[in-house]
Structure 1
Amino acid sequence: MTRLQYLPQRIDNDRFDVAPLLYAGLLSDDPHTVIDFQGQQLSPQALRQDVAAFQAWLAAEGLEKGDRVAVMLGNSVQHIALIYAIVLSGLVWVPINTKLRGMGLKYILEHSEPTLLMLDDEFAPLFEGAEAPGGRLEGNARVVNVADQDWRVSSRGDAVPPGELTHTPCEVGDTLCLIYTSGTTGAPKGVVFTHRMMRIATEAAIRVADIKAGDRAFLWEPLCHIGGAQMLLMPFLEKVTLLVVERFSASRFWSQWQESRATHLHYLGGVLDILMQLPEDAKPADARIPVAWGAGVSASSWQPIRDRLGCELRECYGMTEGSSFATLNETGKPGSIGRPLPWITLSLLDDNDQPVPVGAAGQIVVESSLEGTLLPGYWKNPEATAKALRNGRLYTGDMARQDADGDLFFIGRASDSMRVRGENVSAWEVERVFADHPCIEMSAAMGVKSAIGEQEIFLYVKFNEGQSVDWAELVEWARPRLAAFQLPRYFMKIDRFDLTPSQRIQKHKLSPDTGTAWDRAAK
């Protein structure tokens, strides 16, 4: 029986939900390696002691079911054990993006109202002075440096009894974590991510990645991102090993990949583009990536990536609000995000909530036959909840089109499109083409007012360090790769982009003034 057929039945059986599954897995005497952290191999028994110690300390601190614990840590065994302890204790995990600083960090910590903020030495300087570790944040959250903490002693100085692994019963609709997602404008929204959603996300990740017993999944993603978080349960559903590294490193990737004997790579944030830009000799001749799964490979890059990296590409689409996954490309059609997963119904709708014809762009709207797939709401944000959830459906704000075969193609955010000479142009599609240029690290396309009517396309370009290209030459390179109405008119070099915590360009900070831009129409 395939996972396609049995996923809903497994999900609907409560004894397989997150906390019971994790509890049973950690109590197992199975010797298989669950976590391999840069060569440190950990079985369930090895992890169990650390998880139990964290649980005992959290209980001694007086935390109760439903209390929120913010965590700002780099990838490590200790970080993973702490997450497991939070989940098993019925607490709510609030992952904090380690790249956050200033007002972005302050906003999430104030908005989520945690009881504790757990961090390590690397991030302690961010809270010096009145908000020093051992002190309290505004809102009365206690700050704990895990590097300094003796887990045998509570913050009050009381001895903490030796821990035993425990399991606080939770309902499937209870909140497991608050995951803050950042758009290009506005404050981040806290997705209320339930126990059921995490179980669905992990099962879906196993299906999307085609994970089987004996596989070894490379986990480089920050655990504050659903891309990494959804992998933490994998070893308790299938006998696989998570090969965890501190962070993605282009210079060390191939040595880490081969030493760990990895089989599966999740691509996120342009990871495959980065690997493709490495010198040819950076990749050992016998190295290959058997399976790469994720989102963002353009049709033009599809075959070159497969040829050079030796991988099967499993492109998908999803968002945190819908338990991470909604579609999967299983046919290998270049550039396609595939078709809906079996428990997902996906519609492409116009501004009047009517289905668009084949080939036309429409907003992706998702519903599910599997109860609990969609978020119950955004934390303390009823307006955003009402906008996203309507009549049992999730309005994603993303645009796609469908071809005559029924395969879907992602276009971009509904708010990130332009109208050029009667045509709708996706900024994402334009940017993906320029991402293929060997001298370009990143670009941002935006619509600016046209003297004739509608809009022209203005492209900001950040070149790779030490590289550049003449604008006219760049236009000629791009001309055969874009429709005429997709070709930018204005070009501007930029030294750095302001990015959101999830590494999206904050386009609202880019000036629409074309006065000093290069204008291809003026040549």
Structure 2
Amino acid sequence: MGDLDRNLVEPVDVVKRFPPAERVLPVLLRRQAERYGDRRLLVFGDTVWSFADTARIAAASARTLADAGLRHGDRVAILCSNRPEFLRVYLGCAWLGIIAVPINLALRGGQLEHVLRNAGPSLLVVEDASIPALDTIDSKLLPEMVWIVGDAAPPETPAGWSGLPELGESIAPGAVRPGDTVAILYTSGTTGPAKGVCCPQAQMFWWGVYSARALGIREGETLLTTLPLFHTNALNAFYQAILNGCTYVLEPKFSASRFWDSIRRHEANVGYLLGAMAAILLAQPERPEDSEHKLRVALGGGVPARFHDVFLKRFNVPLLDGYGSTETNFAFASPIPSDHPGSLGYLAAGIEALIVDENDAPVPDGVSGELLLRPTEAYSFATGYYNMPEKTVEAWRNLWFHSGDRVVREPGGHYRFIDRIKDTIRRRGENVSSWDVEQILLAHPAIGACAVYPLPSELGEDEVAAAIQFEPGATLTPEEVLRHCEDRLAYFALPRFLTFVEAMPLTENGKISKPTLRERGRRPETWDREKSGYQVKR
């Protein structure tokens, strides 16, 4: 057993209901369709799918993919916002054993090119609003087949481009196994390009189990998420609903001004917040009806401790502390409400953890080190990084997944996050690779050296900061630096803070000392994008 044995509700005993060989999406959908029939599963605006509808849509969507020549193991890239068509394509892929490759909508230029080059999709499904992003990349990287979602397609499209096919006849499920990859989810690299995490069918099943267990989800509840489907959180919430006979309400995106209205309208019981979202909601004007709703709990991973009690008092909603990653699963969770707000919580049953030093040797409780994780349930973690064998071996060395996070296990059994060993910045629920940002900055001929690092914001999370040293005789304004980056980086990766320096602080071995830059923080000469009035293109 793990360290946490309190406040957990086994979600409808789904582990016993679905033995290991049946932890694949086609079985889950068909079995739950028989069990729940016309009960609502998906709600998106005016679109409603029952459990029975969803199984039929998955089988019919799979038919369109098969008719297009796609087979088990092929990749389908999805560049689409939160909408039913995204799930339709994902379900069709999972039904046949085709691999879905959701793409972050903010990617542009080299970042988008890398994903397409690495994944090598046979088909791209792109929302009409995202077609302009394709103009920022080499067209040779696009697959021959492109399906467009929406009604605003360009008047002229290349051969092989068409609208999303209409649904027709169903097809039988493919020979799908629990260890087969159902999705490749790209997570930002720290010392190199983004890595495609190979998520097996059973990992998504276990995401549904562990998350529902931590949140205490009960059969028939309504789960509402505003998080993007191209990340694991919103996807695994869909599995929580499937496994527990719940209704999954998908909103287009997070809106602080509309969040509580949506919670009330849908009578949601469970919500999903990350990082600064709780602080943003608290910053809204107080309303008499703030606590008038049916929300029982909200995921609050990464929400700073100081916001927990305030959130509970104002909205009457406890926040669940937790920790997971695309490569692993919902590994830690707190009780509801948290007994140590702002911590990671306690280790989940079915997962093992070690805190180690630089030599992978365990350290005692109370001493910080790198967090290592491994599962005891088959295929409940990712199986590696797609087309990156060296990175896979590096991350899973000694048969443990190395998180790159510095963590301490307290004597009472709860785990506390200290900082990131890896050079990653976490901003508004997105991982930002400092390496990616630095490469874009260094591509400008006026920039001789740069360093990208996190600085804290008013909301208690990371903001992207950059120190820049110009080539001799060269200079740029902050606005010129941002304009250089805008078409080459996702908007969330654009630096907020810019500091122009005469020389970089260096370590003894001649490398730029990012700890020194972080310790300096915001200096009088530091330019702040949010205070400057600069408008970021999205």
Deviation of 1:2 after TM superposition, in Å, equals 5.3
Deviation of 1:360 after TM superposition, in Å, equals 2.0
**What is the aligned counterpart of 2:182 among 162, 176, 193?**
176
Contact map agreement 1:295 1:316 (CA 8 A) in 2: yes
CA deviation map 1:41-100 (0-9, x unaligned): 321233455434422221111111111000111111222122111110210000011111
Q: Which residue of 2 aligns with 1:465?
A: none
Which residues in structure 2 correspond to 1:388-403 (within 5 Å)? 388-403=395-410
2: CA distance between counterparts of 1:58 and 1:148?
21
Q: Which residue of 1 aligns with 2:141?
A: 138
Q: Which residue of 2 aligns with 1:459?
A: none
Q: Root-mean-square deviation (CA), in Å?
A: 3.8
Contact map agreement 1:327 1:339 (CA 8 A) in 2: yes
CA deviation map 1:357-381 (0-9, x unaligned): 3322111011221122232211111
Q: Which residue of 2 aligns with 1:64?
A: 71
Q: Which residue of 2 aligns with 1:476?
A: none
| Structure 1 pair 446–350 and aligned structure 2 pair: CA distance change class (3 A) | farther
Which residues in structure 2 correspond to 1:286-305 (within 5 Å)? 286-287=292-293, 289-305=295-311
Question: Which one-letter code corresponds to 1:166 in the other structure?
Answer: A
Contact map agreement 1:180 1:188 (CA 8 A) in 2: yes
TM-score of the aligned structures, taking structure 2 as reference length: 0.74
Question: Which one-letter code corresponds to 1:329 in the other structure?
Answer: S
**What is the aligned counterpart of 1:147 among 147, 150, 163?**
150
Which residues in structure 2 correspond to 1:232-381 (within 5 Å)? 232-281=238-287, 284=290, 286-287=292-293, 289-322=295-328, 324-330=329-335, 331-381=338-388
- 3-state DSSP class of the match of 2:61? helix
2: CA distance between counterparts of 1:248 and 1:74?
12
- 3-state DSSP class of the match of 1:387? helix
Instruction: Please say if 1:18 is aligned against 2:21.
Output: no
**What is the aligned counterpart of 1:435 among 432, 435, 459?**
459
Deviation of 1:517 after TM superposition, in Å, equals 2.4
Q: Which residue of 2 aligns with 1:92?
A: 99
Deviation of 1:343 after TM superposition, in Å, equals 0.6
Q: Return 88-97 or 120-129, whichever deviates more.
A: 120-129
- 3-state DSSP class of the match of 1:122? helix
Instruction: Please say if 1:221 is aligned against 2:221.
Output: no
Which consecutive residues of structure 1, in runs of 5 or more, have no partner in the other structure? 418-426, 449-493
Instruction: Please say if 1:36 is aligned against 2:68.
Output: no
2: CA distance between counterparts of 1:26 and 1:11?
14
Deviation of 1:315 after TM superposition, in Å, equals 0.7
Question: Which one-letter code corresponds to 1:225 in the other structure?
Answer: H
Q: Which residue of 2 aligns with 1:488?
A: none
| Structure 1 pair 297–496 and aligned structure 2 pair: CA distance change class (3 A) | farther
Q: Which residue of 1 aligns with 2:440?
A: none
Q: Which residue of 2 aligns with 1:464?
A: none
Question: Which one-letter code corresponds to 2:126 in the other structure?
Answer: L
Q: How many equivalent residue pairs?
A: 451
Deviation of 1:258 after TM superposition, in Å, equals 0.8
Deviation of 1:510 after TM superposition, in Å, equals 6.8
CA deviation map 1:376-397 (0-9, x unaligned): 2111112211111022211110
2: CA distance between counterparts of 1:232 and 1:496?
38
2: CA distance between counterparts of 1:495 and 1:129?
14
* Percent of aligned pairs sharing the same letter: 26
Q: Return 341-350 or 400-409, whichever deviates more.
A: 400-409
Which gives a bigger RCO, structure 1 or 2 (Cα 8 Å, sep 6+)? 2
| Structure 1 pair 505–269 and aligned structure 2 pair: CA distance change class (3 A) | farther
Which consecutive residues of structure 2, in runs of 5 or more, have no partner in the other structure? 1-7, 154-159, 425-452, 469-481, 505-516, 526-538
- 3-state DSSP class of the match of 1:125? helix
Q: Return 283-292 or 505-514, whichever deviates more.
A: 505-514
Deviation of 1:18 after TM superposition, in Å, equals 2.4
| Structure 1 pair 354–282 and aligned structure 2 pair: CA distance change class (3 A) | farther
Q: Which residue of 2 aligns with 1:109?
A: 116
- 3-state DSSP class of the match of 1:145? strand
Deviation of 1:141 after TM superposition, in Å, equals 4.0
Q: Return 122-131 or 210-219, whichever deviates more.
A: 122-131
CA deviation map 1:82-130 (0-9, x unaligned): 2111110210000011111221111101110000000121112333599
**What is the aligned counterpart of 1:124 among 118, 131, 152?**
131
Contact map agreement 2:345 2:414 (CA 8 A) in 1: yes
Q: Which residue of 2 aligns with 1:478?
A: none
2: CA distance between counterparts of 1:57 and 1:356?
53
| Structure 1 pair 204–104 and aligned structure 2 pair: CA distance change class (3 A) | same
- 3-state DSSP class of the match of 2:39? coil
Q: Which residue of 2 aligns with 1:484?
A: none
2: CA distance between counterparts of 1:406 and 1:202?
24
Question: Which one-letter code corresponds to 2:386 in the other structure?
Answer: W
